Chain A
């Protein structure tokens, strides 16, 4: 039981009449990245704040690295670090001062805190911005500094609450790299995200939550498999070939083949990869040249839709730039 990083049972947190967390059971192993995926308002932040001892649960229990978050909160704080959804930095101070401050609070001497701050600024490519006030930082810089502040002393478990929300794709990739480096350094990372792609990219296992409850748990592949079929996408080199290709595929696969808005693309839901090889060979035999084909398991978007009956985006009115980008990528 003690090799679990996080273990909760019947966790409840209410705000007035809102049941922000409504009976959450988690069992998360040490090591790697675990993602908590859910739309805005699902209760991700509240779960994290309970686990990081920033707020106390109304019911249920939570153990983090084997310690109870209520009765043993100081021991939990000693071992974990939280990078909140919104930067927890002192905006009036410089990046360097922020890191030195945290260093001092961890018990570094003045000189020790100074050199630790330099190391961190360097590793997070912030040396040049070190003497600027944090309020003048870009979103990506702020996020990096916030993560740096969380690892002044290397935590056993790092909570990252929506680490890439609102970041441009480049900054997002930087954050992903940081997460991967953390994990290879032996830290367990629990991150929340609204972005299905992000969970898919980073996480070993994913817990899907919606309206304060866990609705699914597993690896990305398991979640996708639970939805069933995958999708074959084919793009023909010559648009004129599309009707012929559609006929061949329909015959070989025995399912409906759809014409996409992209005038050279066709898609079909398939049960497995078995018939696909034969169908592609048949296309080649018919002299139809393909620009691209891919056999995808369902995306996490589809997973979410099939579990909850609504897509992650339905419930979220405004969406961050990252999500838009990934949708564009998928459409491309």
Chain B
């Protein structure tokens, strides 16, 4: 500390020179990447949505625990309900599973959609959405992409359950095509109700709250439906609710397609409900997304 300084008391930590042409190699490398940072033509909405979907799938590779809810959970659901209800209600597992399998697929997948909301809430809390929202892209694409990525997870869950069902003696009359079409209806509906969870995720401040509200919505929908029992055995008021419950229509459509029966009006009702969810909760979500934090 014996140097003679005449400059100032503010301590100056001497770092690399600030001039444009005289930088250290590190600074020159930085300058070079800055200069080469030319803007490619702007990507379209579909391409950015798919990129975000890809991000969701990359996460599975790094966080494989994420696959628990689309593998173990559906397997447990299938086994549990088949053996409990199968024994008690239908007398035999073999008989019951023919009726029950499409319903358990719908129920499990719809339950898993709840995770969409908590995932988004966590992402927002970690700040990664600040980056996405500051990009010059079609704004909904981050959310659309997440829902697309989730749709892949739902597909995995459905495939797992179909496999378990077949092992337990499920013989769908609709054949592979019928089963796949049935799953498609389930995926379409799940994508649509995903917008309810995105909206709730942007409304609530904690992932616990998001989970709680989602449960409150889903519990009555899944249990007051035709998933487990035929609604004609229910008291009148409950039967009426089961009749308007969109989930019942998803189950009915899936049963018809997978069972090789003729597709009834339920399919149309599912389409209308799905469109309704996207048209109502899509804009609501984007309205909250403007100030998301």
User: Are the CB atoms of B13 and A52 closer together than 8 Å?
Assistant: no
Q: Which residues of B contact A86 (CB under 8 A)?
A: 126-127
User: Are the CB atoms of B10 and A200 closer together than 8 Å?
Assistant: yes
Contact with B along A247-262 (1 / 0, CB 8 A): 0000000000000000
Q: Which residues of B contact A80 (CB under 8 A)?
A: 134
Q: Which residues of A contact B58 (CB under 8 A)?
A: 93, 97
Selected contact of B37 from candidates A87, A153, A233, CB within 8 Å: A153
Q: Which residues of B contact A326 (CB under 8 A)?
A: 11
Is the CB of B171 closer than 8 A to any CB of chain A?
Answer: no
* Measured CA separation A182–B4 after assembly (Å): 33
User: Are the CB atoms of A151 and B37 closer together than 8 Å?
Assistant: yes
Stretch among A3-11, A115-123, A208-216, A309-317 lining the B interface: A115-123
User: Are the CB atoms of B42 and A122 closer together than 8 Å?
Assistant: no
User: Are the CB atoms of A78 and B136 closer together than 8 Å?
Assistant: yes
Q: How far is the CB of B55 from chain A (nearest CB, A)?
A: 6
* Measured CA separation A25–B42 after assembly (Å): 33
Contact with A along B251-293 (1 / 0, CB 8 A): 0000000000000000000000000000000000000001101
User: Are the CB atoms of B59 and A93 closer together than 8 Å?
Assistant: yes
The answer to whether residues A292 and B5 also contact, given A84-B130, A299-B10, A329-B13 and a CB cut-off of 8 A, is: yes
* Measured CA separation A177–B30 after assembly (Å): 9
Q: How far is the CB of A301 from chain B (nearest CB, A)?
A: 9
Q: How far is the CB of A41 from chain B (nearest CB, A)?
A: 16
User: Are the CB atoms of A123 and B6 closer together than 8 Å?
Assistant: no
Contact residues on B (Cβ < 8 Å of other chain), bracket: 35 or more
Q: Which residues of B contact A200 (CB under 8 A)?
A: 10
* Measured CA separation A91–B36 after assembly (Å): 27
Q: Which residues of B contact A102 (CB under 8 A)?
A: 131, 135
* Measured CA separation A124–B3 after assembly (Å): 34
* Measured CA separation A292–B114 after assembly (Å): 67
Is the CB of A178 closer than 8 A to any CB of chain B?
Answer: yes
User: Are the CB atoms of B10 and A296 closer together than 8 Å?
Assistant: yes
Contact with B along A22-60 (1 / 0, CB 8 A): 000000000000000000000000000000111110000
User: Are the CB atoms of B134 and A101 closer together than 8 Å?
Assistant: no
Is the CB of A1 closer than 8 A to any CB of chain B?
Answer: no
Is the CB of A185 closer than 8 A to any CB of chain B?
Answer: yes
* Measured CA separation A152–B137 after assembly (Å): 14
* Measured CA separation A233–B5 after assembly (Å): 10
Is the CB of B166 closer than 8 A to any CB of chain A?
Answer: no
| Most chain A beta-carbon neighbours within 10 Å: one of B4, B51, B128 | B128
Among residues 79 to 96 in chain A, which have CB atoms less than 8 Å away from a CB atom of chain B? 80-82, 84, 86-94
Among residues 1 to 59 in chain B, which have CB atoms less than 8 Å away from a CB atom of chain A? 1-13, 15-16, 18-20, 23-24, 26-27, 29-43, 47-48, 51-52, 54-55, 58-59
Is the CB of A324 closer than 8 A to any CB of chain B?
Answer: no
* 5 closest Cβ pairs, A-B complex: A296-B9, A154-B37, A88-B131, A184-B20, A185-B34
Of the A-B pairs whose beta carbons lie under 8 Å apart in the complex, a sample of 19, sorted by A's number, is A54-B293, A55-B293, A80-B134, A88-B130, A93-B62, A101-B54, A105-B135, A105-B137, A106-B135, A123-B32, A181-B34, A184-B31, A197-B11, A292-B2, A293-B6, A296-B8, A326-B11, A329-B11, A329-B13
Q: A119-B32, A297-B9 are in contact. List 4 more A-B contacts (CB 8 A).
A: A149-B131, A292-B2, A292-B4, A300-B10
Instruction: List the interface of chain B (C-beta within 8 A of A).
Output: 1-13, 15-16, 18-20, 23-24, 26-27, 29-43, 47-48, 51-52, 54-55, 58-59, 62-63, 123, 126-137, 290-291, 293
Instruction: List the interface of chain A (C-beta within 8 A of B).
Output: 52-56, 74, 77-78, 80-82, 84, 86-94, 97, 101-102, 104-109, 112, 116, 119-120, 122-125, 133, 149, 151-154, 169, 173, 176-178, 180-182, 184-185, 187, 197, 200-201, 231, 233, 235, 290-297, 299-300, 326, 329-330, 332
